[in-house]
């Protein structure tokens, strides 16, 4: 059966999981970490860095390091979120050719799906290295509030990364899937997800038939663990300034170290009451000496520093419950997702707000990827009973008089579906109506996303309210939305087909796929060469070490001298192959090297 | 205290350590030099300098074309001097630099440097000040001279100073690029394969007593026993040459080692 990986493509960290022998498992990366920072960078030498290594140089190479690309994916250049990102990001964001946004790294423009594809490709490589086989199919998670364009852009990112994205599922749904895996649950759960860069609270209804309904979701895309890190950095910077009258923020290297140390201290304080931050040679005093930073940070101080941030998440929870017209006691279970929820203060605040302890049954960093992995396995394994139905992530409707949004298809409706509503003209003698197709939950049209528009003309001149127009929304099994408007008097009609767009054309996506493939081939070749090189260097070093002894033993015979010359020839050829980065030649020589090493060892052993 | 610029460029030379120094630059006064260098350095002792016959200033080469600053092929550099010579020089450099300076020496050295130049000792490589007779030497000419003599560090400093005044100076730009490439190759040759993984060889509690600056401290913070030299160069956020120079110094001071 084909393996399907589940990917949690997070704002700050990503994670990949798979179901093996019926057991959902998170796959660690090469460094042994189960999560990989969702960061990519291009170095001065043009080298591409992904994950931890990109994170380690994120401040010193800030202009060329992309983080939180997820905040931009599928967004239009004119959207307020993009404006916000432009104001707060250290990397350059420019307008793309289709009113989308592009990221400039070392003078080269990348589309946002392309950047996300680099992270997805890394997750794919992690899975392939683990499985020892190519991986094609994937289920990727997205926040519940993502609209169709954002979902399509995520799908495109997967395609660019060489993945066949068989399903996009909501993150809270994935967390709930991981929670409900192997048990029969029928509950209303609250998923409190506080990650590195974003906060989401979602209320879900888990029904026995496999339907996970997102009843309400809200959050803050600029609130997360990084804000807590920033508070620690501020505290350290201020303390150092008080002591040495020097501002560590002025030095990028110092700031990078501070940020890394702050994150580490924050994590440590989830399990210990106090930790020491020790950063020797943090900055030059300007008097030819380097200064050291050494400070103890207690959990109590950390809680004080981050109290308002925790409070903000609780306020959002409160608002979300109000919006969903739900009482706290209607929530059966609270699931904590995201690394930040390990912080005892957050666990306390959540318990206090909901009036109950949060579930300990899921892993905060891994559950979303595990849920995606579970869904992936279910989709290819027909014997699996559990299925997740495709639902509309947002309500669909049209704009009506007064800039209001009239909903036709409610959020969470199972697809395929079709709904019809009758509207009337809003002005006397109106001969045409403009149908503005929108997606969202806000009553105000301006707060929702415009998916498309068309005009129905040839209406009879009549007082307002007399001409009736029937509007039909239809979503087919592939998620394609068709909207039709019909003048009921004349039967004249107009229609539009709305397909989600990531802001990229098919040609652009094709080019990006080719580029990504090329990069992948180069990477694999380079990895193969490095592996062979290390093996060859090890063997050559052993042979060179044995030369004097072997020479001493066999120097008397012509045969021995000939063997030594041959061995020297092989070692020399290996060095040339390494210098020329010739993988094929190196592969050829390794066999000879290995034989020589065995022979030399035998000669030395016999001679002793 | 390690003066890597002297050692590196000089280290690649045949026999005469002064050969790669522009002959137009006089040796600093004997007293100043004596305080500025540890006594056991392989570079000429200050008191020997006056007795050593100076080579006549070679005719200045005209280096107007782009090819003037083409990177010399490092293998050619090696073969010209001979592989053995390279190894000898590397060993010599180790003899020279392996011993970490005594704290008192380091302090004396720093004080002397500050007194002499009135600037921190860890500032960019110090180019010997021109003598009164050559104070009006055209910097472009000096850059060419140093480059042609193989004083790549010196040429780099002069070229960078030219670029400070005129960022579009094409010849200086080419020179900077070439010098950096050659110096990077030299440091790489000395450090060894970049895929090696360094580890900190000094106990954690003794780290703060090392005589290193904050840039070296930053590089040191990336050494975790898992990242290779190549990865450290990638994440250092500083020009490759600077990072290589720091890594080389850390290896020489035995602050870092390899498994």
Q: What is the DSSP string of A25-63?
A: EEPP-TTS-S-EE--EEE-TTS-EEETHHHHTTTTTTGG
End-to-end CA distance of chain B: 26
Structure tokens at A89: 């990001």
Interface test with B, best of A106, A253, A540 (most B CBs within 10 A): A253
Indicate the residue of A57, A288, A291 with minimum beta-carbon distance to B234: A57
Q: Clarify whether residues B48 and B169 are in a common domain.
A: yes
How much is the mean pLDDT over chain A?
A: 90
List the pLDDT tens digit at each of the 259 positions of chain B: 333 333 333 333 333 333 333 333 333 333 333 333 333 333 333 333 333 334 333 333 333 334 455 555 544 443 333 333 332 323 333 333 333 333 333 333 333 333 333 333 344 444 444 444 445 678 999 999 999 999 999 999 999 999 999 999 999 999 999 999 999 999 999 998 888 999 999 998 888 889 899 999 999 999 999 899 999 999 988 889 999 999 999 999 999 999 7
In this predicted structure, what is the pLDDT of residue B174? 94
For the domain A506-607, what is the CATH code? Answer: 1.20.140
DSSP designation for A206: E
CB contact under 8 A, A281 and B237: no
B234·A256 Cβ contact <8 A: no
Structure tokens at A218: 């809200």
Give the pLDDT score at A165. 95
Per DSSP, the three-state class of A296 is strand
- Residue B82's pLDDT is 35
DSSP per residue, chain B: ---HHHHHHHHTSSS-TTTTS-TTSPPPPHHHHHHHS-TT-SSPPTTTTTTSPPPPPPPPPP--SGGGGPPPPHHHHHHHH-HHHHHHHHHHHHHHHSSPPPHHHHHHHHHHHHHHHSS-TTSS-PPPPPPGGGTT--HHHHHHHHHHTT-HHHHHHHHHHHHHH-TT-HHHHHHHHHHHHHHHHHHHHHH--TT--EEE-S-GGGGGGS---HHHHHHHHT--SSS-HHHHHHHS-S-HHHHHHHHHHHHHTTSEEE-
Whose CA is closest to A76, among A102, A95, A100, A96?
A: A100
* Together in a domain, B169 and B205: no
> Is B150 found in the same domain as B134?
yes
In a 13 Å sphere around the CA of B240, the CA atoms on its Cβ side amount to 21
Question: How many angstroms away from the CA of A606 is the closest CA of chain B?
Answer: 30
Banded model confidence at residue A221, pLDDT cuts 50, 70, 90: confident
Coil, strand, or helix at residue A578? helix
Pull the structure tokens for residue A472: 């039909």
Q: Indicate the number of domains in chain B.
A: 2
Q: Which of A60, A284, A537 sits opposite B214 (nearest CB)?
A: A284
Between vectors from CA A549 to CA A546 and to CA A553, what angle results, nearest 5°? 130
Cβ-contact A11, A171 below 8 angstroms: no
pLDDT at position A287 over 90: no
Q: Which two tokens stand for residue B3?
A: 């003066």
Q: A61 pLDDT exceeds 70?
A: yes
- Token output for B177: 């690029």
Give percent of chain A above pLDDT 70.
97
Interatomic CA distance for residues A369 and A26, integer angstroms: 7
- Contact criterion met (CB < 8 Å) for A279 and B221: yes
Contacts of B122 in chain A (CB under 8 A): 284, 288
Nearest residue in B to A46, CA atom: B234
Q: Best residue in B194, B214, B228 to probe A by mutation, most A CBs within 10 Å?
A: B214
Give the catalytic positions of A in this structure.
8, 70, 171, 193
For an interface test with B, which of A49, A50, A57, A294 has the most B Cβ atoms less than 10 Å from its Cβ?
A: A57
- Chain B residue with the nearest C-alpha to that of A527: B195
Where among B174, B191, B208 does a domain terminate? B191
pLDDT of residue A270: 97
Using alpha carbons only, how large is chain B's radius of gyration in Å? Answer: 18
Asked if pLDDT for residue A310 goes beyond 90, the answer is: yes
Between A and B, how many residue pairs show a Cβ–Cβ distance under 8 A? 78
**Range in A20-24, A603-607, B65-69, B206-210 the model is least confident about:** B65-69
Secondary structure class of A528 (helix, strand, coil): helix
Contact flag B114-A288 (C-beta cutoff 8 Å): yes
Question: Kindly report the CA angle at B143 between B139 and B145, in degrees rounded to 5?
Answer: 115
Buried b (16+ CB within 10 A) or exposed e, B199-234: ebebeeeebeebbbbbbbbbbbbbbeeebebebbbb
Q: Where are the domains of chain A?
A: 4-224+309-380, 396-498, 506-607
- B interface toward A at CB cutoff 8 Å? 110, 114, 120-122, 193, 195, 207-208, 210, 212-218, 220-222, 226-227, 231, 234-240
Domain boundary residue among B191, B220, B237? Answer: B191
Q: Which residues of A touch B (CB under 8 A)?
A: 31, 43-45, 47, 49, 53, 56-57, 59-61, 251-254, 256-257, 260, 279-284, 286-288, 290-292, 530, 533-534, 537
Same-domain pairing of B96 and B9: yes
Q: Chain B residues with CB inside 8 Å of A253's CB?
A: 214-215, 218, 237-238
Residue pair B33/B163 in contact (Cβ under 8 Å)? The answer is no
Q: What is the DSSP letter of A245?
A: S
Grade residue A148 by pLDDT with cuts at 50, 70 and 90: confident
pLDDT for A136? 95
Based on the domain organization, do B142 and B223 belong to the same domain?
Answer: no
Confidence of residue A219 (pLDDT cuts 50, 70, 90): confident
Question: Is residue B75 located within the same domain as residue B43?
Answer: yes
Nearest by CB: B213 against A256, A281, A534: A281
Asked whether the beta carbons of residue B218 and residue A257 sit closer than 8 angstroms, the reply is yes
With CB atoms and an 8 Å threshold, state whether B237 touches A57. Answer: yes
Contact across the interface for B213 and A284, Cβ inside 8 Å: yes
- The pLDDT assigned to B71 comes to 52
Nearest CA in chain A to B218: A253
Contact A53 B234 (CB under 8 A): yes
Q: Backbone phi, then psi, for B126, in 5-degree steps?
A: -85, 125
Which class is A4-224+309-380 in CATH? alpha beta
**Residues A554 and A563 sit within 8 Å (Cβ to Cβ):** yes
CB A277: neighbour CB atoms within 10 A?
Answer: 20
Q: For residue A465, what is the DSSP state?
A: T
Report the pLDDT averaged over residues A339-359. 96
Q: pTM value?
A: 0.74
Tokens read off for A17: 């999981």
Cβ burial of B3 (10 Å; 0-12, 13-18, 19+) is buried
CA distance A601 to A4: 47
Say yes or no for a CB contact (<8 Å) between A44 and B240: yes
B196 and B131 within one domain: no
* Burial (CB count within 10 angstroms: exposed 0-12, middle 13-18, buried 19+), residue A398: buried
| Ramachandran sector of residue A286 (left: φ over 0; alpha: ψ -120 to 50; beta: rest) | left
Q: Is the pLDDT of residue A264 over 70?
A: yes
DSSP secondary-structure letter at A210? S
Angle at which helix B83-97 crosses helix B240-252, to 10 degrees, equals 70
Does residue B55 share a domain with residue B148? yes
Residue B161, Cβ density class (10 Å: 0-12 exposed, 13-18 middle, ≥19 buried): middle
CB B12 within 8 A of CB B182: no
- Minimum Cα–Cα distance from A64: chain B residue: B237
Side-by-side strand order, sheet with A433-439: A404-409, A396-400, A433-439, A449-456
Chain A contact set for B238 (CB, 8 A): 60, 253
Does residue B238 share a domain with residue B182? no
Please confirm whether the linkage preceding A416 is cis (ω < 30° from 0). yes
Q: Which domain holds residue B226?
A: 192-259
Lowest model confidence (mean pLDDT) among A11-25, A63-77, A262-276, B62-76: B62-76
Query: Which pLDDT value is given to residue A343?
Result: 97
Question: Are B145 and B212 part of one and the same domain?
Answer: no
Q: Which domain-ending residue is among B191, B215, B245?
A: B191
CATH of domain A396-498: 2.60.34.10
Lowest mean pLDDT among A143-152, A253-262, A343-352: A143-152
Alpha-carbon distances, residue A174 vs A214, A341, A368, A370, A375 (angstroms): 11, 17, 5, 7, 8
**How far is Cα A524 from Cα B127, in angstroms, rounded to an integer?**
45
Contact between B11 and B93 under an 8 Å Cβ cutoff? The reply is: yes
- At A603, is the pLDDT very low, low, confident or very high (cuts 50, 70, 90)? confident
* H and E: helices and strands count for chain A: 13, 26
Could you tell me if B35 and B128 lie in one domain? yes
Cα separation, A75 vs B9, whole angstroms: 54
* B115 and B233 housed in the same domain: no
Report the 10 Å Cβ neighbour count for A535.
14
């Amino acid at each position: 059966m084909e393996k399907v990986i589940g990917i949690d493509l997070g704002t700050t960290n990503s994670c990949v999981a798979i179901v093996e022998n019926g057991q959902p498992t998170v796959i660690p990366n090469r460094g042994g970490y189960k999560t990989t920072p969702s960061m990519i960078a291009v170095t001065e030498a043009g080298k591409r860095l992904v994950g931890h290594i990109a994170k380690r140089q994120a401040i010193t190479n800030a202009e060329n390091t992309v983080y939180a690309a997820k905040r931009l994916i599928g967004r239009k250049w004119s959207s307020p979120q993009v404006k916000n990102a432009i104001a707060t990001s250290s990397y350059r964001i420019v307008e793309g050719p289709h009113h989308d946004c592009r990221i400039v790294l070392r003078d080269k423009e990348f589309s946002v799906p392309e950047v996300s594809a680099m992270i997805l490709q890394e997750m794919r490589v992690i899975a392939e290295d683990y499985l020892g086989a190519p991986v094609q199919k994937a289920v990727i998670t997205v926040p519940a509030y993502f609209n169709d364009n954002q979902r399509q852009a995520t799908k495109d990112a997967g395609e660019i990364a060489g993945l066949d994205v068989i399903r996009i599922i909501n993150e809270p749904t994935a967390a709930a899937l991981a929670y409900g895996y192997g048990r029969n649950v029928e509950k209303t759960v609250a998923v409190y997800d506080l990650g590195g860069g974003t906060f989401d609270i979602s209320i879900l209804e888990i029904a026995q038939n496999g339907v996970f309904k997102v009843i309400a979701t809200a959050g803050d895309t600029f609130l997360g663990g990084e804000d807590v890190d920033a508070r620690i950095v501020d505290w350290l910077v201020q303390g150092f300034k008080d002591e040495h009258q020097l501002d560590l923020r002025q030095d990028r290297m110092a700031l990078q170290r501070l940020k890394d140390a702050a994150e580490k201290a924050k994590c440590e304080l989830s399990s210990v009451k106090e930790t020491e931050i020790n950063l020797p040679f943090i900055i030059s005093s300007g008097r030819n000496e380097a200064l050291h930073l050494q400070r103890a940070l207690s959990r109590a101080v950390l809680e004080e520093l981050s109290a308002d941030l925790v409070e903000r998440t609780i306020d959002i929870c409160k608002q979300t419950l109000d919006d969903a017209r739900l009482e706290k006691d209607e929530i059966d279970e609270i699931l904590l997702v995201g690394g930040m929820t390990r912080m005892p203060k957050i666990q306390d605040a959540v318990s206090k707000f909901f009036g109950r302890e949060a579930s300990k049954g899921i892993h905060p960093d891994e559950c979303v990827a595990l849920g995606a992995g579970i869904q992936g396995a279910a989709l290819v394994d027909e014997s699996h009973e559990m299925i997740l139905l495709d639902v509309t992530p947002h309500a669909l409707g049209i704009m009506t008089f007064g800039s209001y949004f009239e909903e036709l298809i409610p959020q969470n409706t199972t697809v395929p579906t079709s709904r019809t509503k009758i509207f009337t003209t809003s002005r006397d003698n109106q001969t045409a109506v403009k149908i503005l197709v929108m997606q969202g939950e806000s009553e105000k049209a301006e707060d929702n996303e415009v998916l498309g528009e068309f005009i129905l003309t040839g209406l009879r001149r009549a007082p307002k309210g007399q001409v009736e127009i029937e509007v039909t929304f239809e979503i087919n099994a592939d998620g394609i939305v068709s909207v039709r408007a019909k003048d009921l008097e004349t039967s004249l009609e107009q229609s539009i087909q709305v397909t989600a767009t990531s802001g990229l054309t098919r040609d652009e996506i094709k080019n990006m796929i080719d580029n990504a493939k090329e990069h992948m081939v180069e990477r694999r070749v380079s990895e193969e060469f490095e592996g062979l090189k290390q093996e060859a260097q090890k063997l050559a070093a052993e042979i060179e070490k044995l030369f004097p002894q072997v020479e001493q033993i066999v120097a008397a015979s012509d045969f021995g001298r000939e063997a030594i010359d041959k061995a020297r020839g092989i070692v020399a050829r290996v060095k040339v192959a390494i210098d020329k980065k010739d993988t094929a030649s190196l592969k050829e020589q390794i066999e000879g090297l290995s034989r020589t090493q065995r022979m030399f060892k035998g000669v030395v052993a016999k001679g002793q | 205290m390690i003066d890597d610029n002297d050692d590196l460029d000089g280290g690649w030379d045949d026999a005469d350590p002064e050969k790669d120094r522009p002959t137009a630059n006089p040796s600093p006064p004997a007293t100043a030099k004596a305080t500025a260098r540890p006594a056991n350095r392989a570079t000429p002792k200050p008191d020997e300098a006056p007795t050593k016959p100076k080579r006549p200033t070679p005719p200045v080469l005209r280096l107007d074309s782009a090819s003037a600053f083409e990177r010399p092929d490092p293998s050619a550099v090696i073969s010209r001097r001979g592989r053995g010579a390279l190894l000898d020089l590397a060993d010599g450099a180790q003899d020279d630099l392996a011993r970490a300076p005594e704290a008192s020496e380091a302090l004396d050295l720093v004080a002397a440097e500050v007194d002499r130049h009135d600037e921190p000792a860890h500032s960019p490589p110090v180019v010997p000040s021109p003598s009164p007779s050559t104070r009006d030497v055209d910097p472009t000419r000096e850059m060419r001279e140093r480059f042609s003599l193989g004083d790549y560090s010196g040429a780099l400093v002069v070229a960078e100073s030219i670029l400070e005044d005129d960022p579009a100076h094409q010849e200086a730009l080419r020179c900077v690029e070439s010098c950096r490439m050659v110096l990077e190759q030299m440091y790489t040759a000395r450090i060894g394969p970049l895929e090696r993984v360094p580890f900190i060889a000094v106990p954690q509690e003794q780290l703060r007593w090392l005589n290193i600056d904050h840039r070296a401290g930053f590089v040191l913070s990336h050494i975790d026993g898992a990242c290779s030299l190549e990865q450290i160069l990638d994440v250092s956020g500083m020009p490759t040459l600077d990072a290589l120079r720091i890594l080389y110094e850390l290896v020489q001071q035995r602050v870092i080692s390899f498994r």
